[in-house]
Amino acid sequence: MDNGLRDNRMRYILTIAGSDSCGGAGIQADIKTIFSLGAHALTAVTAITSQNSQGIVETFDLPGKIVSLQIKTIIEDVFPHAVKIGMLHKRMIIRKVAEAIKRHKLKRVILDPVIRASAGGQLLEDSAITLLKNHLLPLATVITPNLYEAGILAGHEVRNPGEMERAAREIKALGPHVVVTGGHLEGNCIDILYDGKEIHYLQDPKIETTNTHGSGCVFSSSLATFLAMDYDIVEATRLAHDFTREAIVNSYPFGTGPGIVSPGHKRDSAGQ
């Protein structure tokens, strides 16, 4: 059966991210996404959040030593084909993750620079943003900011495709390829990839739903998985764009706040 792989090797995707207690985003969404695409999820938890559909109540950061040890212990046994980085929250965690990438020579690093939760709550301290830009972005292969995150990283508002292009070029100067996701645009949904040579547009009609909790995590972890399957950056981005749209189409209500996207819809078509 076709599981999307270019050969028969199992792909291992390491996700370094926070835990979402309502199971819609964070490391839970990453695991569901990676599994549904026929790969195996390795995990290093950075923080534990107490949250529901209405927002985050409290965050507990794991000690940096434990984050580093999770990564080290995994790699001593299985080396990941790609790495997805999500919630880091603290300066200390950013430093530890950057050190681990360099020490273990990790490749295909996809950074989702989560700054705040869609349901409300800060996921990256303001004081950590400069450290993220200076120490982690240069180590990443691809970064996947949404409009708000792209604006923070570029230093100006990002509200339309022209400003998305400008931000993508400015962020690319820091090192990684850039995919600015435009799910919050008025009108069509547009993702913009800048690979240092060309601007690539991925455009589709907007899906009218509030059930989008976890969509950014699904996009970045599916992009990591497709890159691990040896697709090039343009094709991997297109596949991740389409996969995330299907997860939103198959979303469902949850609690009294935004509903949850469903990446599990691909299991049958992925040969599972």
- Signed CA dihedral, 40, 45, 46, 47: sign only: positive
CATH number of 76's domain: 3.40.1190.20
DSSP letters along 117-167, please?
A: -TTS-BSB-GGGHHHIIIIIGGG-SEE--BHHHHHHHHTS---SHHHHHHH
132: in domain: yes
Q: How many CB atoms lie within 10 A of CB 266?
A: 22
129: in domain: yes
Q: What is the mean pLDDT of residues 181-199?
A: 90
List Cβ neighbours of 164 (8 Å cut-off, separation of 6 or more): 147, 150, 158, 180, 182, 190, 192
Q: How many CB atoms lie within 10 A of CB 195?
A: 18
HSE at residue 11, side-chain half, CA atoms within 13 A, is: 27
Into how many domains does the chain fold? 1
pLDDT in tens, 111-160: 999 987 665 667 788 888 999 999 999 999 999 999 999 999 999 999 99
DSSP 8-state assignment for residue 190: E
Q: What is the pTM of this model?
A: 0.92
Burial status of residue 218 (CB atoms within 10 A of its CB: 0-12, 13-18, 19 or more): buried
DSSP 8-state assignment for residue 257: E
210: in domain: yes
Radius of gyration of the chain (CA): 17
Q: Token pair for residue 80?
A: 């990941």
Measured CA to CA, the distance from residue 217 to residue 84 in angstroms comes to 9
Q: pLDDT class for 219, splitting at 50, 70, 90?
A: very high
2: in domain: no
Give residue 121's pLDDT. Answer: 65
Q: Token pair for residue 247?
A: 């997860």
7: in domain: no
Q: Which domain holds residue 39?
A: 12-260
**Residue for token digits 């935004």?**
258
270: in domain: no
23's enclosing H/E stretch is none
Measured CA to CA, the distance from residue 124 to residue 87 in angstroms comes to 7
Q: Among 107, 115, 111, 108, which residue's Cα sits nearest to residue 147?
A: 115
pLDDT in tens, 245-259: 999 999 999 999 999
78: in domain: yes
1: in domain: no
Averaged pLDDT of the chain: 91
List Cβ neighbours of 57 (8 Å cut-off, separation of 6 or more): 50, 51
82's enclosing H/E stretch is strand 82-85
Measured CA to CA, the distance from residue 231 to residue 120 in angstroms comes to 34
Percentage of the chain beyond pLDDT 70 is: 92
80's enclosing H/E stretch is none
> Is a pLDDT exceeding 50 seen at residue 55?
yes
Q: What is the mean pLDDT of residues 205-222?
A: 94
Burial status of residue 169 (CB atoms within 10 A of its CB: 0-12, 13-18, 19 or more): middle
Measured CA to CA, the distance from residue 33 to residue 29 in angstroms comes to 6
